[in-house]
């Protein structure tokens, strides 16, 4: 059964390097930022961070500078399977529309779940908010999250490139866009 009461806004952070990954390492999800949006009220419900201990890579200095995440953050972090379990059980992710800024998050989830043999947590419904924003504002779709916030006069809250903060900001943009449609 598809539920349209909430839209799950997701932003993932992944291991990254300046340039190519070191031999034997590959980019993997280390944080799932989540902000459900109440589809009727067009309000953000909560901000949550699910940290995932990397198993195929290490946190680089570049990654720490970008995300503020370091090895210490992952000492008690769960696995990708743990995060997927939370998404499915607590948020009914397979039954709800989910959204992200662009297609990176969708593709990254598909690839990493496949590589780590973890079931993909979402159904077929994915909303690309970056494309929706481009259509609404008549640009070419190349605008970043920080630029989008600036364009609509919304302050970027929290730390950019932290999953839970980015999901919170993306959800605010989604609410803004949906309010424009409902007018």
CA of residue 31 relative to chain centroid, distance: 8
By CB atoms closer than 10 A (0-12, 13-18, 19+), residue 181 is exposed
Q: How many domains does the chain have?
A: 1
| Boundaries of domain holding 61 | 3-182
pLDDT at 140 over 90: no
Pairing, β 126-128 against β 48-51: unpaired
Buried b vs exposed e over 39-48: b needs ≥16 C-beta within 10 Å? Answer: beebebbebb
CATH number for the domain spanning 103: value is 3.30.420.10
Two tokens, residue 147? 């630029």
Q: What is the mean pLDDT of residues 60-75?
A: 97
The string of pLDDT tens digits covering residues 150-162 is 999 999 999 999 9
């Amino acid at each position: 059964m598809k539920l349209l009461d909430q839209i799950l806004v997701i932003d993932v952070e992944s291991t990254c390097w300046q340039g190519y990954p070191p031999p034997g390492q590959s980019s993997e999800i280390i944080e799932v930022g989540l902000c459900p949006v109440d589809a009727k009220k067009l309000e953000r419900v909560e901000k949550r961070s699910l940290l995932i201990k990397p198993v195929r890579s290490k946190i680089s200095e570049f990654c720490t500078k970008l995300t503020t995440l370091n090895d210490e953050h992952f000492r008690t972090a769960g696995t990708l399977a743990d995060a997927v379990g939370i998404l499915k059980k607590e948020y009914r992710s397979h039954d709800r529309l989910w959204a992200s800024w662009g297609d990176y998050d969708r593709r990254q989830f598909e690839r990493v779940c496949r590589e780590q043999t973890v079931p993909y947590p979402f159904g077929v419904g994915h909303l690309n908010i970056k494309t929706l924003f481009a259509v609404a504002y008549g640009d070419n779709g190349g605008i970043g999250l920080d630029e989008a916030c600036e364009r609509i006069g919304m302050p970027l809250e929290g730390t950019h490139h932290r999953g839970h903060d980015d999901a919170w900001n993306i959800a605010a943009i989604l609410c803004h866009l949906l309010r424009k449609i409902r007018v």
